[in-house]
Amino acid sequence: MLGFSDVTESFEEKRTVRKEQRVKPSVSSAIGRAAAAIGMDESSFIISAAYEKAKEIERAQFATLIDPELFDAFAAAVASPGQKIPGLAQKAKASEGLLEDG
């Protein structure tokens, strides 16, 4: 069997929300065959697959990808000594308390 299981099985909550979709017959058949191939009922298969994809999309929203060459340049810039900017410390102190966390 393939390495696919119901990732929502361990959730300690009841199934109280209903979702309904219309699908094309060929899509429904493919879902049925895939679920049967791994020994899952279609509902659990669909829910688990959709949940995994949703979590993947959510994680991607918080990931930043950068080419290795650009990362190396960024890391070198961060590691190098900074330049003093006249008046910057005074401006930073003057701006304290202007912004609040939301």
DSSP characters for 29-92?
HHHHHHHHHTT--HHHHHHHHHHHHHHHHHHHTT-----HHHHHHHHHHHHSPPPP-TTHHHHH
- Domain spans in the chain, listed from the N-terminal domain onward: 10-81
- Joined together, the tokens standing for residue 9 give 């099985």
Per residue in 7-39, pLDDT (tens digit) is 888 888 998 999 999 999 999 999 999 999 999
pLDDT band at 97 (very low <50, low <70, confident <90, very high): confident
pLDDT at 2: 63
